[in-house]
Every structure is written in structure tokens, then in C-alpha cells.
Amino acid sequence: MPRKNLAWVIVCIAVTVFVWTAARGGLIPPRGPMQFLKEFYSADKDYDNLALMIDVMQYVDMNYVKTLKPEERRKFIEAAIQAGLRSLDPNSSFMNPQEYSLFKKQAEGKFGGVGVQIVVNRETKRVTVISPILGSPAFRAGIKPGDEIETINGEKISELNDDDVVGRIAGAPGTTVTLTIRRRGTGRRMELTLTREEIHTEAILGDVRDTQQKWDFLADKENRLGYVRITSFGNNALDELTQAFKTLENEKVQGLVVDLRNNPGGSLDVSVKMADMLLNEGEIVRVEGRTHDTRIHVAQQEGTFFAGERKIPIVVLINENSASASEILASALQDHKRATIIGERSFGKGSVQRLYPIESGASRLRLTTSTYIRPSGKNIHKFPDSKENDDWGVIPDIEAKLSPAEELDWLLARRDRDILRDEEINRLEMAEKTAVLMGPMSIYPGISGTMHLFTGLAELNLTLPNLIRTSKPYQDKILDKAFEYLRNQIKKGKTT
């Protein structure tokens, strides 16, 4: 071989060995091309951490007791990403393609599932129901706010992350899922097998329906008092609320109740536009973040309802499950003295999550980037170290709270008004009322076994049949307080 060619061969071998060694990061452990990240901008501060993740993954890949399948490798990486994001705050997360697809369907107002909104309880770390979606399989089965989901198809919740929980409950319409539910207040467990449906969510509801099964938003005909329930802040909510307000203006409404109880929130843009519908000027909310300028959303005069000569008193109802977008709307109306807030202190979720496309847009990174600030300058978010006397959430102008038994009655009565109920659901409700009434007796020796027997009999419709078949008219005392407040305000206005 000519010396020239031999020299080229030696050079090529030397270069190959050098590149291979550099790319491997030395002989222990293998890091592949990670070494070259050091040359990129700001990568030096992240290289060691990223290399650590690669080291762990490659050791698992080479030495774990069994060979990981591709889907198991993917799950390993997703779990690591999810855990890292959740260490930042409870609201940052990663959505894989399947989860992002479900998220989009929920935002559009329709998706396949059982229709239940869930959250991880701050104190217990358990998966807790915020609210079943009205008319959904979960709603018809009697699942209630505050119920805890313990297993999904026999798999313990404690072994799943939040997104796994959502992914396992959702699914194609017509398929089934079995949930073990622990009843709030009584501790009673129920195993429910639900058939998934395409969930169409109504965002704006009234108190009762008319003869055409449409919502009648004029709740008090004599005093011309309107009532709207905002159950979500999705894409369809704004159009529905606009139509409801137009109907009430045509009915010459004299006062309005906006009910945000058990509303977990939704789109920032939708909540801002809803506040703009009731405010003709002034700041609605301020969004402050680290990487962008402060954004201030301001109300416009155009498109304002119940203003000028048509101005009417407004009451907003909130409770401890009113969160996020609900708190933006309530606080804006409160700070501008456009509405009186009645109820109990809200949840305190004042952080903004932005979606970043990754994996060519198939997945999304949901990252907390900003916080909400009220028009008054007060904070909304309840931080882990926040105290009761700190500024967070929305504190009502008039406090009104239901006891656990009253809350149960309210939820049952509310569901009665929302759908036509069958005998099976009535029997389950009777069992719950029995459990609530007799639950405290379980603290006495010898009573617990009797209580469970009695509850079981109630579920079988073998006791108190008359009570099962007849339901007492229920008055929502929080709503009654709101209506009474509006009547007094109307009388004062007429006197003036």
C-alpha cells in the first residue's frame, strides 16, 4: 500500500476513535452525543443534569432485570418528566399525544368519558371529585363533589399520576370503566361500572327548565330576578352566556344572580370576556410573569349588558370549589363594586399555565408562567405557606355556608332539577341520607354494625319506602339569601 494511502487510513482510524471516545463521554457511563451539548448556548448549566438522566436511562436499559419494551421506555421518560414538573407546582404537567387530544376535546365541549372533573386534594393528596358534568354518566350514577376515587378498573389510584387517572377514566363512547368511590362524609365505598359517552357540556344553566326543557333564566317572575349558573369557561360558554343575557334583557330583568359555586375554572380569555360583559370600564385582571411584560386586561364599554339606564344589582355566589377563572370573574366584579359576593371563601388558584408544543406539536408542555393579580392589586393564589389571614382567593361580602348535611341536600335537589331521575337513583340517594343521618352513631360501641346493616337495607329499598318515594321541596338557602338581597336593593332603588 502506498505510504500516502496508509497515512489516510491511520488518520481516519484515529479520528474515529477520538470521536467515539468523546461521544461516549469516556468509558463510564455511556452518554452518547450529550458531550456536544456543552457547545450550545447556556447548555453548560444543564449538561450535568441532563447527562444524569441519560446515565440513569442507559443503566436501566443495559442492566434492568428485564428488557424494556418501547412503550415501557416511553412511560419511564414521561414519568420522569411528569415528576420533575410536579415538583415545581401542582399545575405544571406534560401531556402526551393521547392526553392532549383529550384536552382539546374537553376545551371544545365534547369528549368521550364519564363526565367527571377531578383534582388532587391539597391536604389528603387523594383524587377528589370537583364536580360531575351535568347529565353525564357520572352525574346520573350519583357521583358528587368531594367524593374520592380510589381505584379505576381495580388499579389503585395511589399507583397512578394525575394524567394516568384522566387517561384511564376517559375512553371511546360505548366502552365501560369501573370506579371505586369513597363517599365524602360517610366513608362508604361504592363500586360503579359506567358506560362512557360522548360528553356534550352545557356551560350556562338556569335553576329550572321550562316546558320545552330549555333553561328558564328568569327565576323569580314576580320580582323579575334572573339566575345563571356558569359551570365552565370553555369555548362554548361565551356564546351561551351572551344568549342568556339577551334573553334576560328582553324579559326586563330587575336583578341578577351569577352562580359560580363548584366551578373549577377554565380559559383566562373567556373569563375576561365574561367580566367585560358586566363591566364597561376599568381593569379586569393583571397577568404577571417572569419572562414577559405584565398584561393588563381592561373592560370596554361596547357589548356591556345591564348598564346605563338598564343597570341592575348583581350578586355572585361562590364556595370553596370556585377556582381560577371563577375567581377572576368574581374578584373583578367585587373590586369594581359591580356585584356583591355571597358564599364562602374561594379555592385560591391564581396561576396561569401556558401550553408549549413539543414533539412536532403532538404533545404539550403545560407550564405555570404567570400569576393573576386582582384589579385591587391583591393576590388570588393560595401558596403552600399561605395562612388564613393572608390575601388569597375571593372573600365574600356576605358569608353564607352550608353544613355537610345541607350541602348533601342541596346537591341532591340540584340534580333533581337538572335531570329526570329514575327509581334506582332515588334508592341510592335514600342510602346516602341514611348514612349521613346515622354516620355519627358509628362512634358508639356496638352501633357500627347495625348502621351498615341499616344502610344496606336502605339501598335495597326495604326500609322507609315512603321516604324514598317522596321528596320534600328543597330551598337553596344561599340562593334565597341572594334573591332576598336583590329584592331589598330594588326596593331601596325605588325609594331613592
Using pLDDT thresholds of 50, 70 and 90, give the confidence band for residue 102.
Answer: confident
The Cα 150–Cα 141 span in angstroms is 16
- Provide the pLDDT for residue 116: 85
Terminal-residue alpha carbon distance, the chain: 112
Say if residue 437's pLDDT is above 70.
Answer: no
Say if residue 454's pLDDT is above 80.
Answer: no
pLDDT in tens, 120-146: 765 666 888 877 876 789 988 988 878
Contact in structure between 233 and 204 (CB atoms under 8 Å): no
The Cα 196–Cα 310 span in angstroms is 45
Say if residue 244's pLDDT is above 90.
Answer: yes
C-beta pairs of 88-91 under 8 Å, 24+ apart in sequence: 88/368, 89/351, 89/368, 90/120, 90/122, 91/349, 91/351, 91/353, 91/366, 91/368
Mean pLDDT of 441-465: 34
pTM of the model: 0.65
Say if residue 25's pLDDT is above 70.
Answer: no
Mean pLDDT of 204-233: 91
pLDDT in tens, 371-387: 999 999 998 999 888 89
Using pLDDT thresholds of 50, 70 and 90, give the confidence band for residue 496.
Answer: very low
Retrieve residue 332's grid coordinates. Answer: 373583578
Say if residue 469's pLDDT is above 80.
Answer: no
* Cα separation values, 416 from 131, 139, 214, Å: 15, 11, 15
Retrieve residue 338's grid coordinates. Answer: 359591580
Say if residue 411's pLDDT is above 60.
Answer: yes
Active site positions, annotated: 324, 335, 349
- Provide the pLDDT for residue 30: 47
Say if residue 445's pLDDT is above 80.
Answer: no
Say if residue 444's pLDDT is above 60.
Answer: no
Q: Look at residues 390, 369, 363, 388 and name the one whose alpha carbon lies nearest to residue 379.
A: 390
pLDDT in tens, 309-362: 889 999 999 999 999 999 999 999 999 999 999 999 999 998 888 899 999 999
Contact in structure between 380 and 348 (CB atoms under 8 Å): yes
The Cα 485–Cα 464 span in angstroms is 38
Say if residue 409's pLDDT is above 80.
Answer: yes
Who has greater pLDDT, 224 or 108?
A: 224
Q: Look at residues 268, 270, 277 and name the one whose alpha carbon lies nearest to residue 295.
A: 268
Q: What is the DSSP string of 345-385?
A: ------EEEEEEEETTTTEEEEEEEEEEE-TTS-B----TT
Only one residue has cell 448549566, namely 45
Say if residue 364's pLDDT is above 90.
Answer: yes
